[in-house]
């Protein structure tokens, strides 16, 4: 394969995904202005210092050009009609292995297997790609709640390590559980099972969780204590890294933080402050936050710049932000650095059961092709929205 370009070639890399090619240009090479991904034979990423256009570039149907000099940004588009990939498309709830009851946090494991915190069934479900039912991988399959090494009480958020071992918040048991891949029981690794508190080794109904894969450090949303806790690998107690100054809208406070994302590139947390209807950034080590999206005073709304009880949040490799705007029944997309969002799933202010509607979406994630997975909480299902770029 050859490229006819008047620009200076910086380097060529072998990458598997088109998005990773764009990330290399955007984040790794300061003098890079154009990334060209070609998967016609061996996936190859060519990075250029100047502008590459069809006039000086041999392209094919397998070639994608990311132009970081362009005045018109890349247009991201998702199919607005979703597909139910877990649970019942009609919203039916239950404890059967093909049903869910108020799903909350979701994450992707090996081979795009979907892990779901099935909140009110008190279990974690693993849904293989294109499967019609799930396997219970933590908790009791019949939905019974409990407080033991095998029973859970309202799990909210789950993350995985590279071996698909699970770390999840067991909300009403006020703890974080580690459950090894394939194990029949788990162990409490943070908090004290059944004990609510505000000390450095206790929680009050923890919700969101994130893991730094490079260090094994866990970050836990101690939601009803209005703070985010950091637990170093194998630590028995944590450190407050955000909030901890009571509930409120002040820049040193949080107000029911449910979901958040760890942004390794800036060593910060992007936190969905549900009660103050905004997304804030808290740099680790800082004593206050800066506003990213929404109102600084807590004003709710349904415009493109306002939110209504945001719950889940995620980032893609380019730093774009996705918010589960639960009270507006929609998923909002914000280009990195922008505070004016676009609705990419759901209908603003219109809860419903059709395939283009959501009903209190609580969680959102993206795969490595930017396809969306949405935990459609009150519809007892997980929806998939495919991505394409024009």
Tell me how far apart the alpha carbons of residues 55 and 121 are, in angstroms, rounded to a whole number. Answer: 58
* Average pLDDT score over residue span 368-374: 94
Tell me how far apart the alpha carbons of residues 105 and 119 are, in angstroms, rounded to a whole number. Answer: 8
What the block records as the tokens of 375 is 């935990």
What percent of the chain is modeled with pLDDT above 90?
77
Note whether 351 and 360 are within 8 A (CB).
Answer: yes
Sheet strands (E) in 58-122: 63-67, 76-78, 83-87, 103-108, 114-118
Class of domain 76-389: mainly beta
pLDDT tens-place string over residues 24-56:
776 666 677 777 777 766 777 888 877 654 444
Q: Is the per-residue pLDDT at 21 higher than 70? A: yes
pLDDT tens-place string over residues 61-80:
344 555 555 444 456 789 99
Tell me how far apart the alpha carbons of residues 248 and 336 are, in angstroms, rounded to a whole number. Answer: 27
pLDDT tens-place string over residues 336-361:
899 999 999 999 999 999 999 999 99
What the block records as the tokens of 42 is 């061996």
Task: Return the sign of the alpha-carbon dihedral for residues 23, 26, 30, 32.
Answer: positive
pTM score, whole prediction: 0.84
pLDDT tens-place string over residues 211-242:
999 999 999 999 999 999 999 999 999 999 99
What rounded mean pLDDT belongs to the chain? 90
Question: Residue ranges per domain, the chain?
Answer: 5-67, 76-389
């Amino acid at each position: 394969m050859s490229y006819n370009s008047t620009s200076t070639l910086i380097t060529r890399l072998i990458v598997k995904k088109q998005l990773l090619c764009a990330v290399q240009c955007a984040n790794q090479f300061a003098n890079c202005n154009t990334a060209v991904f070609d998967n016609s034979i061996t996936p190859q990423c060519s990075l250029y210092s100047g502008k590459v256009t069809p006039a000086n570039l041999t392209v094919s149907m397998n070639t994608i050009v990311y132009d970081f000099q362009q005045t018109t940004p890349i247009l991201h588009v998702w199919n607005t009609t979703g597909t139910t990939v877990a649970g019942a498309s009609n919203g039916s709830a239950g404890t059967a292995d093909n049903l869910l009851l108020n799903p909350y946090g979701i994450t992707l494991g090996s081979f795009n297997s979907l892990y779901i915190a099935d909140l009110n069934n008190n279990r974690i479900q693993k849904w293989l790609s294109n499967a019609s039912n799930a396997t219970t991988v933590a908790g009791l399959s019949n939905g019974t709640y409990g407080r033991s090494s095998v029973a859970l009480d309202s799990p909210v958020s789950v993350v995985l390590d590279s071996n698909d071992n699970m770390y999840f918040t067991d909300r009403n048991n006020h703890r974080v559980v580690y459950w090894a891949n394939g194990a029949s029981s788990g162990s409490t690794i943070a908090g004290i099972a059944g004990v609510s508190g505000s000390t450095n080794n206790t929680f009050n109904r923890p919700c969101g969780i994130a893991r730094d894969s490079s260090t094994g450090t866990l970050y836990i949303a101690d939601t009803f204590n209005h703070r985010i806790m950091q637990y170093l690998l194998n630590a028995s107690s944590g450190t407050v890294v955000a909030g901890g100054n009571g509930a409120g809208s002040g820049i040193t406070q949080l107000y029911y933080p449910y979901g958040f994302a760890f942004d390794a590139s800036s060593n910060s947390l992007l936190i969905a402050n549900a009660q103050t209807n905004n997304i804030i950034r808290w740099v680790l080590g800082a004593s206050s936050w800066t506003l990213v999206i929404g109102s600084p005073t807590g004003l709710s709304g349904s415009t493109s710049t306002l939110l209504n009880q945001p719950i889940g949040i995620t980032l893609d490799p380019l730093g774009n932000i996705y918010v589960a705007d639960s009270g507006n029944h929609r998923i909002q997309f914000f280009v990195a650095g922008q505070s004016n969002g676009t609705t990419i799933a759901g209908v603003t202010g219109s809860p419903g059961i059709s395939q283009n509607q959501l009903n209190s979406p609580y969680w959102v994630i993206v795969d490595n092709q930017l396809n969306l997975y949405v935990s459609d909480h009150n519809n007892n299902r997980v929806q998939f929205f495919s991505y394409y770029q024009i």
